[in-house]
Amino acid sequence: MKKQIAVAVALMAAAIAAGQCYAQRTSLKADIPFAFQVANQTMPAGEYWIQRMSDADERAQMIRRTDSSAAAVALTSAVVDAKNEESAPELVFHKYGNSYFLSEIWTGQGEGRHLPVSKREKELARETTGSEVAVSLQPVSERGL
């Protein structure tokens, strides 16, 4: 059942992305030097695009390798940090041993998106002390993605 839901979400994401392929919009780009987990998927290290699935709704965020070899859609919730309105865009990962989990997407101006904690991350958090790792994001105007 979970695999069927994952396939349905992936197909929906592909359809939405195809419908928006001619639009110009700003995305965020990151070079992530380690494998990580997002939306119960393991993503390999590499260069990634991070963009919202729809201009009308920021909840669904697509995380996709620039070579299109891996992609995931994560449902997020808004977070605001008024103290850090001038902060640079970044991704925040929770690290437990050698396992990394995407936790937050910060776009700058104190605005960000929070990802839900997976079952696996909860298990690791109970077993060991974690830390946070930040990776810088660069805003990039793109066409035809």
C-beta pairs of 122-127 under 8 Å, 24+ apart in sequence: 124/96, 124/97, 124/99, 125/94, 125/96, 127/96
How much is the pLDDT for 46? 97
Provide mean pLDDT across the span 65-73.
96
Using pLDDT thresholds of 50, 70 and 90, give the confidence band for residue 140: confident
Q: Taking 90 as the threshold, does the pLDDT of residue 66 lie above it?
A: yes
Between 27 and 104, name the one with better pLDDT: 104
At 96, which helix (H) or strand (E)?
strand 90-96
Phi and psi dihedrals of 59, rounded to 5? -60, -45
19 or 116, higher pLDDT: 116
Global pTM value: 0.77
Q: Rounded mean pLDDT of the chain?
A: 83
Give residue 83's pLDDT. Answer: 64
Compare 21 and 131 and report the one with higher pLDDT: 131
Q: 79-122 pLDDT, tens per residue? A: 987 666 677 899 999 999 999 999 999 988 788 999 999 999 99
Q: What is the pLDDT of residue 54?
A: 87
Q: What's the rounded Cα separation, in Å, for the pair 5 and 3?
A: 5
Q: Rounded to whole angstroms, how far apart are CA atoms 114 and 92?
A: 9
Residues, the chain: 145
Average pLDDT over residues 16-40: 73
